[in-house]
Each structure stands twice: as structure tokens, then as C-alpha cells.
Structure 1
Amino acid sequence: MRKKAYFRLKSLLVAAFTIVSFSVEAQQKAVERDTSFTVHSAYVKAKKQYPAVSIATPKIPAGVASKRDLTYCTVGDRNLKLDIFYPTAKRKAKYPAVLLIHGGGWRSGDRSHHIPMAQQLAGKGYVTVTAEYRLSTEAIYPAAVNDLKAAVRWMRANANAYAIDTTKIAVWGFSAGGQLAALMGSTNGDKRYEVNTCNRGVSSNVQAVVDVDGILAFIHPESGEGDDSKSTSAATYWFGAPKSQKPELWQEASALNHVSGKMPPILFINSSVDRMHAGRTDFINKLNELKIYNEVHAIPDTPHTFPLFNPWFEPTLNYTAAFLSKVLNGK
């Protein structure tokens, strides 16, 4: 009897351990990073249509230093990281700064994607930051916005260490990052996105926005987001519900619905894929009514991922640098 009881207890323990192990594994998989969008995968896709394309890896400008893997905010037990690039030349005036936000459908992508852009802008006299943010595999909207607002607050809180001019902070984003950049600029001063406790009391306002192929409106005739007919769309994952169920969230995350006198100057750099800048015309009309400076540069015959590749990296950099010089430095 004892032997039977022993084996029964043993099998129950093995079963329990298996269930717990499966549960832990399932939890790990639930937050496993989505690596479907990388520079390499985008390159393979773009090269089919544009055989001459190459990944942009320009030489790092002289006089640019960096610090990597710095924690800018801790949410629960999650340390959010950033990399910072800055000019080493000492001067009396402090440097304007730029936060760069990667794309990937709010679900994939990595802050390393725009290190080349960050390095080149640092070479032109900007302190630049590439920051990660929680993706939809980890936390749904508005977590990403909250995180990136916290990144701006970190930049201001650490301004003295990197000679940042706190009155001149811009945000630059590509694709989903462009959408986030436009939303950040259009919600300057909006307390709904200031829920992270990191560096509370420090402003997250930005003084300029560069939106590189990021949409301005989710529910809009020009928008292709939210089509779940074949598979769950990236936006549906991000909002945690289709637009038919929670349209108020989809509207709330649309920068078009927040344009006000608090909106800073904005630059649009766009590909020839029209749906990637849905709502741009309506957005510009609102800006013009409010007399807010804006620029549009559409680069013809380009894939959505154009800023990652030659021959389009340099024009993207030049448009960005000229705009920031004008609106932040008055040049």
C-alpha cells in the first residue's frame, strides 16, 4: 500500500510540476519579443523591388561619444533602456536634443534601428537618444506613449550631464514611431499620458516633431489600420481590441484629434506608400488654421522602410537636420 501511495504521490507531483512548467513557459512566450521586423528583413523585402538598395551604415562622425543601455525608467520590475549619443566638443551654449523612436507596428522593432541616424545628427550638434518602449506583446496602448514621455523627462532630468538645452527637445519617429512622435507632440501637457512615476514634475513637452511615414489617424478613409479579415492587425494587437469594439481608443491615439495651439512645428517625411501617412492633409489643414509651422517632403518611388536604406538615408537626414536647425536654432 505504501509503495502504491508513493508512486501515486510521485505521479501527482510530476503532473503538478508539468502544469507549473507549462504555465511559466506560456507566460514567457506571452511576453517574448517579436523579431518579425528587423533591418535585415526589411532589406530583403525592399531589395526585391529596389535591387540597388543597401543598408545605411555611414561612418560615425568624429567627436561623437555614446553611452549605451542606460535605464531611463523602471515600471514594475521592467527596466526601460536607452542609448545616448552626444558631441564631445565643449561650448558655451548647450545642445538641442532629439529622441528617436523606432517602428515595427507597435509590436516589433528595436531601438538599434536608428542608431545611424542618431549618430549622424549628433555629428551635426544634437544630443540624440534612441529609446525602447513597451511593445504590444508586453503592454498595450497607452503604455508606449507613457514610456516615451518618460524618456523625454529623463532627458530633461539629466540635461546637465549631457549639455542638453531643455528648451529645445525634438522627437523623431519612423512608422509606428512616427505615429507616436506626432501623438507626443499633439498631447504636450496632456496629463493622461504622464502616469509613469519616473522623474515626475519634469516636463515631457517637445518643441519639434519629425514624423517619418507615421499615420495621423487610425479611423480615417486613408487609413489601412485595423483590417483583421485575414489576421489580427498590428493596431488591433496594440489597442487590445478591434476598432469596432473600442473605437474611442483608436480615436484617442490619433494625433489628428489632438491638434491645438500647443502643437509644436512638425516635419513630415513620407514614402510613396500613401496609407502610411493617413490623415496628413487634414492634419496640415488644422496646423495651417492655427498658423503652426509645418513642412512636407515626399520622396518619390520609395518603400515604406526608406529611411533605413541608401539612397534615401541621406535625404532623410538632410531634411531632418535642415528642419531642426530652422525651428530649434532659428537658422
Structure 2
Amino acid sequence: MIRFVASLCLLAAGASAATWHSTATGSDLPMKILEPASGGGELRPAVLYLENLAAPRVGTDSDASIIHDFLAQGCLVVTIDYDHAKQSRWPALNLDLAALRNQIQHHQLLADERLDPAHIFIVPSGCRLKRDVAFYHDGDRTLAMDIVYPAHPVHPVGSVIEFSCDNLNRMGNFSLDFCTDTILEGAAAEGYAAAMADHPVRAPYHGLDPMPQCGWMTKAAVRTLRAQSASLDLNGRIVVAGFSRGSGMSLLLTTTTGLPAFEGHGENQGVDSSVQGAIVLAGRFTYLHLLPHDHMIPRYNIAWGTRAQHEDVWRDAGALDYLHGPTVPLFLSINCTEGADYQLQMQVLARRLTELHSPFIYQPDPQPRGHRMPLDPSVLNPMLSYLRQRLH
């Protein structure tokens, strides 16, 4: 597992200025800590605001006005100035995105601040944040998303949506750090809108994704993001990304297109629920192809009955088993040291897509990091090319 160590050089005791060492640029960058006027005694949301990145700035609102509004909303704002260093963009920037969360998680950065670990946002310059956009009501639980988006771009932009691996707090810093999840924030830095949505299954998660309910919720999320197009200057093109428990949700949105059983629930009914692509990382896609020693089989037997007696139930639980023809082009990746169960799932998925003549890109992650999201340029570069192709 990659560990990142902070290098902080406070200018004076209690001062709000510091430097932060960037892995991407190999240099110490100016950092400022801006305190909101209120909320000193409670845990506070934080915005890490990245200024002067190498990628073209797509939002046209000024940094001053955006930061002013974050502070007015009670957020602690931390600015980091990259001074347009050429390495301060995808894929090198993704190392810094992972480092910031890792250092906060291990109390090596902002250790003296009372931060809310469920509300730590990394926002590129020129972007704003729309929080708690509801897309589904499930009894006493309201599912929602947080959207980072370029503020008043010259041209509408595409969007990337992800379903969180934290079933309790969609922006939980522990999960984002553990998974080295940088896709959304990296995409935002490249000029796209990025939405983190609640996972359909409420906490605690036991590895069971009820169908068609998960489809109802994921499609409601896509519709709700697309419904923001006019107000947030989005172009209506959406790519879904998923890892681990979120990966099946990503695939599900591509395999159930046009199936009535998965429509008609949640917010913004009548809006198009299709996606234009999907990034599908390690996960479970079918329950009809499992290794004999898969540790989850006893749990599935209890929940669904044995596969021999209830194969239809096992089939309905898997996102892949709704696919009977070509779907949108997919981007697939899995770590070279991922567990055998996940490796088998990716093999079955790739084989099914090939059989159906459904286009996909497969780029395995060569860094031996196990159950983690990719940080290697050999994966991230073709992933960004894929996003550009699907979102324009």
C-alpha cells in the first residue's frame, strides 16, 4: 500500500500559511488555511482548493468568489498553489490527490483542525460544489450525491458519476484513502463535472445487492445528475465509474438499458437514464461463475437458497447476466495482484463482452497493490482518453 508523508513548514506558530510537498511536482507548494467565520466548536467540512493547475481552467468564476462562498458555507478552505507546474494534472496529479487524503487520514496534515471525515472535498480551481442532491427516498433514508462542477464554463461539460464504496458516508475519507480513489477529483481537474453518489445498499453492507432495487436507485442517480444540465452547464453525457462494491453498480447501468423493470422509481422520472460509458474496476458481476472455494458462497446460500435449486435468483443478482447484446464501450481494469475471485469475475466479463461483440478497453494495473484503484499512468492515461471520447 502506498503511504504518503506530509512535509509541512509552518511560517509561524498559529499562522495560516504553510507549504505542502507535492509528489507530482517534486516541490514544496504554498498552502494557506482559511478559517470560516462560524462553527469553531464542531467538526467542519473542508475544501482543499487546488489553484493554478496545468490543465486548462474550465470554470470562469474567480477563485476569490468561489472561496468566499465556501467560507460562508462554514467550510475550512485550504488552498494549494501549483503555479502551473506542467506535472500538476492527470496522471501525475492523481498521486497528490491520493496523498492529500492519506495524510489527512493519518493525521499528518491538518492534524490540529477539527475536520469532519465524511465531508472532505478536493476541488480544482474554477469549480464549485453542490452538496446533498437527492435522487431517491428509501424509507427513512434519502440517497443523494455531491457534485463538483466547473462554474460557468464557456461550453457545457460532460460528467462522471461514481457510487461510493462507503455505504454510510459517501465521501468517507477512510474509504477514499484506502481505495486510493482519485478518478472523480482527477476528472474534475481535467474540466469535467464529478458526482459521488450514495451506494444503493444502506449500511452495514454484507455483499448483497438486491435487484431490481439497486437498478432503480442507480438509474435515479443518473437521471438526477442529467437533470442538473441546465443549472450546472452540463452537456448531458455521463460516464459511470465503479470499484469493488460500486463496480457492479457501474456495470448494471450499461446492461439494463431499456429494461422497464429497472425504471419508474426515484427522482426525475422521464429524464433519460442512459450512460455513455462505464469504467468497471474490480468487482462482482455474476454469481453463476464463482470459484468453488469463494468465501461468499455460504452467505449467498443463506440469502438466496442454493444455486442448484434457485439459479434464477442467483442470475437476477448479477449485473452481467442482464446483458444479451452489445452495450456502450466499457473501460476495464484490475490490479495484477487482485484476489482470484475478482480476477475470475473480470475474465468472465471480458469473455462475455467479446462473445457479444461489445466494444471494451482492457488495461490491467501493473502496480502490485491488491484491492486498490489504479494510480499507474499506464492505466490512467488510456482511462482519460476514454473519458474524453465518451464525454464530448
Normalising by the residue count of structure 1, what TM-score does the alignment of the two structures yield?
0.68
Asked if 2 retains the 8 angstrom alpha-carbon contact of 1:71 and 1:81, the reply is: yes
Asked if 1 retains the 8 angstrom alpha-carbon contact of 2:284 and 2:345, the reply is: yes
The match for 1:220 among 289, 292, 295 is 289
Q: Which residue number in structure 1 is paired with residue 387 of structure 2? A: 324
Shift in alpha-carbon separation, 1:290–1:219, aligned structure 2, 3 A: closer
Q: Which residue number in structure 2 is paired with residue 292 of structure 1? A: 358
2:240 counterpart of 1:171: yes
Shift in alpha-carbon separation, 1:279–1:101, aligned structure 2, 3 A: same
Q: 1:201-280 to 2 correspondence within 5 Å?
A: 201-222=270-291, 224=294, 226-228=296-298, 232=299, 240-244=303-307, 246-261=310-325, 263-271=327-335, 272-273=337-338, 274-280=340-346
The match for 1:150 among 220, 226, 229 is 220
User: What is the aligned-residue identity percentage?
Assistant: 23
Q: 1:46-85 to 2 correspondence within 5 Å?
A: 55-57=98-100, 60-85=123-148
Shift in alpha-carbon separation, 1:197–1:61, aligned structure 2, 3 A: closer
The structural deviation recorded for 1:170 is: 0.9
How many Å separate the matches in 2 of 1:225 and 1:263?
31
How many Å separate the matches in 2 of 1:306 and 1:72?
28
How many Å separate the matches in 2 of 1:256 and 1:73?
24
2:150 counterpart of 1:87: yes
How many Å separate the matches in 2 of 1:277 and 1:109?
28
SS of the aligned residue for 1:278 comes to helix
Superposition RMSD in Å: 3.0
Q: Which residue number in structure 2 is paired with residue 99 of structure 1? A: 161
Q: Give the AA of the match of 2:224.
A: W
Asked if 2 retains the 8 angstrom alpha-carbon contact of 1:118 and 1:128, the reply is: yes
The structural deviation recorded for 1:100 is: 0.7
Q: Give the AA of the match of 1:276.
A: Y
The structural deviation recorded for 1:284 is: 2.5
The CA deviation string for residues 39-75 of structure 1, in whole angstroms up to 9 with x for no partner, is xxxxxxxxxxxxxxx9543764322221222222223
Shift in alpha-carbon separation, 1:225–1:316, aligned structure 2, 3 A: farther
Asked if 2 retains the 8 angstrom alpha-carbon contact of 1:73 and 1:150, the reply is: yes
The structural deviation recorded for 1:111 is: 4.2
The structural deviation recorded for 1:264 is: 0.8
Asked if 2 retains the 8 angstrom alpha-carbon contact of 1:215 and 1:278, the reply is: no
How many Å separate the matches in 1 of 2:200 and 2:320?
23
Q: Give the AA of the match of 2:314.
A: W
Asked if 2 retains the 8 angstrom alpha-carbon contact of 1:269 and 1:316, the reply is: yes
**Unmatched tracts of structure 2, length 5 or more:** 1-96, 102-121
Shift in alpha-carbon separation, 1:56–1:236, aligned structure 2, 3 A: farther
Q: Which residue number in structure 2 is paired with residue 118 of structure 1? A: 184
The structural deviation recorded for 1:136 is: 5.5
Shift in alpha-carbon separation, 1:132–1:243, aligned structure 2, 3 A: farther
2:203 counterpart of 1:160: no
How many Å separate the matches in 2 of 1:64 and 1:317?
22
Where relative contact order (Cα < 8 A, 6+ residues apart) is larger, the structure is 1
2:202 counterpart of 1:141: no
Asked if 2 retains the 8 angstrom alpha-carbon contact of 1:96 and 1:165, the reply is: yes
How many Å separate the matches in 2 of 1:263 and 1:243?
30
Count of aligned pairs = 262
SS of the aligned residue for 1:151 comes to helix
The structural deviation recorded for 1:129 is: 0.7
The CA deviation string for residues 83-109 of structure 1, in whole angstroms up to 9 with x for no partner, is 0011225213x21111112236xx677
Higher helix share: 1
Asked if 1 retains the 8 angstrom alpha-carbon contact of 2:209 and 2:317, the reply is: no
Greater shift, 214-223 or 118-127, is seen at: 214-223
Asked if 2 retains the 8 angstrom alpha-carbon contact of 1:176 and 1:214, the reply is: yes
Normalising by the residue count of structure 2, what TM-score does the alignment of the two structures yield?
0.59
Shift in alpha-carbon separation, 1:242–1:165, aligned structure 2, 3 A: farther
